[in-house]
């Protein structure tokens, strides 16, 4: 737990960084729906693999700009020239495999019926409420649900959707609520 200058007790990972605190307070654990919004989270979580989330948060405005607001129908039309353009952009994470996965994943989302990605991903949200974690050490890196979500997405051809990445997505989109006991956001 951490207590900030505003006297709010937060999950320890929120720390003192204002952007992290804002993300913790306003986004993390809040139910997020919509194919476009979930495609964005999937993409950003994929780019985060191996890096810290604060790096992604700080670069998110530029990601949104260069990935056409994460509109899957626009990103699906990106070509090799766009990959080269993105690889040259220091404002994002310049990893060719992740960039190509983001484009390939957009093509898969674009080919789905409206609402299909949302329904698919939310179908893996755990039913019922589990015990709220007492500390960060009680928060798992993966769950049976995140493993199943990862397998289902991979079977459809999605990339950079491993079980750990999908659990982080489940946390960030409110499919699970891992705010620890004592955090002001814990309900």
List, by residue number, the catalytic residues.
23, 45, 53
- From 83, 74, 80, 131, select the one nearest 106 (Cα to Cα): 74
**11 assigned to a ligand binding site:** yes
Q: For residue 116, give Cα distances in angstroms to 39, 42, 108, 179.
A: 11, 14, 11, 28
Which helix (DSSP H) or strand (DSSP E) does residue 100 occupy? Answer: helix 96-111
Instruction: Give Cβ neighbours of residue 150 (< 8 Å, ≥ 6 apart).
Output: 161, 162, 163, 165, 166
Q: What is the largest CA-CA distance in the chain?
A: 50
Establish whether 119 is an annotated binding residue: no
102 three-class SS: helix
CA 178 to mean position of chain CA atoms: 14
Binding site as annotated, residues: 11, 24, 179, 183
Binding positions for Zn(2+) are 11, 24, 179, 183
């Amino acid at each position: 737990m951490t207590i900030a200058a505003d006297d709010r007790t937060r999950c320890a990972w929120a720390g003192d960084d204002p952007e992290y605190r804002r993300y913790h307070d306003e986004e993390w654990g809040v139910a997020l729906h919509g194919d476009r919004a979930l495609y964005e989270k999937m993409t950003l979580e994929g780019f985060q693999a191996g890096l810290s989330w604060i790096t992604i948060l700080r670069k998110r405005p530029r990601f949104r700009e260069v990935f056409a607001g994460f509109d899957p129908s626009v990103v699906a039309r990106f070509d090799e020239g766009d990959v080269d353009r993105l690889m040259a952009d220091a404002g994002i994470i310049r990893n060719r495999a992740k960039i190509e996965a983001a484009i390939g994943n957009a093509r898969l989302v674009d080919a789905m019926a409206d609402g299909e990605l949302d329904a698919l991903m939310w179908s893996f949200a755990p039913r019922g409420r589990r015990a709220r974690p007492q500390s960060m050490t009680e928060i798992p890196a993966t769950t049976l649900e995140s493993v199943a979500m990862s397998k289902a997405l991979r079977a459809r051809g999605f990339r950079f959707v491993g079980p750990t990445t999908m659990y982080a997505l489940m946390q960030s989109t409110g499919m699970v609520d891992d705010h620890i006991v004592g955090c002001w956001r814990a309900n």
